[in-house]
Amino acid sequence: MTAATLSRNGTARTEPRERARNDAYPLVKAYLLVILAAVVDVSNFLDRGNFVRYLLLLVPIGTLVVVRMRFPSMFVRTPTASDVVLALVWVFGLIGAVYGAVFGGVHATMLPVFLPMSIAFLYLGTLDPLSEDELMSTLRALAIIGSLYICLNALVNAHLVPGLDDKQYRNASLLFMALGISGTVVLRWWRWLAVLVLLETFVFITYPSGTTVLVMCAIVVTFAMTAPRPYARIRPYVIGGASVVAILVLLVNFSAGVSVTSDYFSLVGKNNADSVRVEAWTQGVNEFTQSPLYGNGFTDAVGAVVVHPGGRGEFQIPFHNDYVLFLAKGGLLGLGLLLAWILATEVTVLRRYVTLVAQERYRRAALLRVLLVGYNVFFVTSAFNPSILGMSRAASLFAVYALMMLVSSDGRPGTVRT
């Protein structure tokens, strides 16, 4: 059976008709629910609450169990190279995090990172491709959820509703803003985009942030990498490689970064916390030198002890850099695996995006494009914030990753028997 669809130039073409009963779409909706929960968590319970917060992970896990009961199968999708690398990160980190939580007696554990990582692999248990309508519904849902985040962020900054935790709507969560902006652009909701730009401008004025500027640059670069027109295949990889190099330069060249951001804080009239941040990064690097190969095996997430610039004594903060966190707690092995996963994901997604555009499967390519924007923005914020240490943010990242892997493949071709 075939179904007629429209290509970008408006001509009719045919595609295989998907099954009416789709085993992948329920899991997609579960992933969207995880992202939505992170956005509407105005009390920040999912990042700062007790162990009950991990029940959120049962939503996609339980959904997959129900799906496999409804659609019994002895097949699963073939893991990608990025899946294999992420599995190595997951096993390494989860063993250390569980050991630290059970036997280490530490309060700050790595469980908020590695427990949510488990949902990244659930998509492998589904087989069917998403239909055209399901693709568009997912794209619209991402745009709406991201837009809701921007609206809530503006509401928090306006201080109109007491009791809202503003830490939930700061730089570490800009992944959601990126999904809203990019989804609205791809859907061509121009009037709504104008509203979002106004709201985001208000957010920036009330909370000036250099990270926001870098995030906007990341959105533009990702859109340039995925421009839906004929282009040399090497271009996306050149841009992606340049981005990785830029991140590494920022990590290494502390002094130059301090000089630039000092001027920024002076310009916008904010207290300069660079001395605290650099001190935290330095302590993380020093911790790495004590065990450079594998760190402490991710047995804790204890950060740095620094002196507040105002002279209010010592206090403990995260490293404010996820790359330094993985370097300090997982050594060269931990950071190397993280960077290998990011690179493998970029290569996999960009190759599939180019293929989808060449096949004129524009809706699938459009959804993949928005998800890649969110993925890239997350790792930009990670260079200056403890983004991955928030359980809801980590769960959202791995939900975005799973959605990218799911929508960019057809499922059944290339499956392997369990």
Alpha helices in 269-361 (DSSP H): 274-290, 322-358
Name 247's Cβ contacts closer than 8 Å, sequence gap at least 6: 323, 379, 380, 383
Rounded (10°) CA dihedral 200, 211, 223, 155:
-20
The span from the CA of 125 to the CA of 27, in Å, is 10
How do the pLDDT tens digits run along the chain, 418 residues long?
A: 344 444 444 444 444 444 456 889 999 999 999 999 999 998 889 988 889 999 999 999 999 999 999 888 778 888 999 999 999 999 999 999 999 999 887 888 999 999 999 999 999 999 888 999 999 999 999 999 999 999 999 999 988 877 676 677 888 899 999 999 999 999 999 999 999 999 999 999 998 888 888 899 889 889 988 887 655 455 556 566 556 655 554 554 444 444 444 444 444 444 445 667 788 888 999 999 999 999 999 999 988 877 665 556 677 788 889 999 999 999 999 999 999 999 999 999 999 998 999 888 999 999 999 999 999 999 999 998 999 999 999 999 999 999 999 998 765 544 554 4
In the chain the first and final C-alpha atoms are separated, in Å, by 29
Q: Which residues, 6+ apart, have CB-to-CB distance to 159 below 8 Å?
A: none
- Identify the helix (H) or strand (E) that includes residue 116: none
Q: Are 364 and 407 in contact (CB under 8 A)?
A: yes
**Do residues 77 and 409 make contact, with C-beta atoms less than 8 angstroms apart?**
yes
Contacts of residue 21, Cβ cutoff 8 Å, sequence gap at least 6: 70, 71
Domain residue ranges of the chain, discontinuous segments joined by +: 23-251+319-417
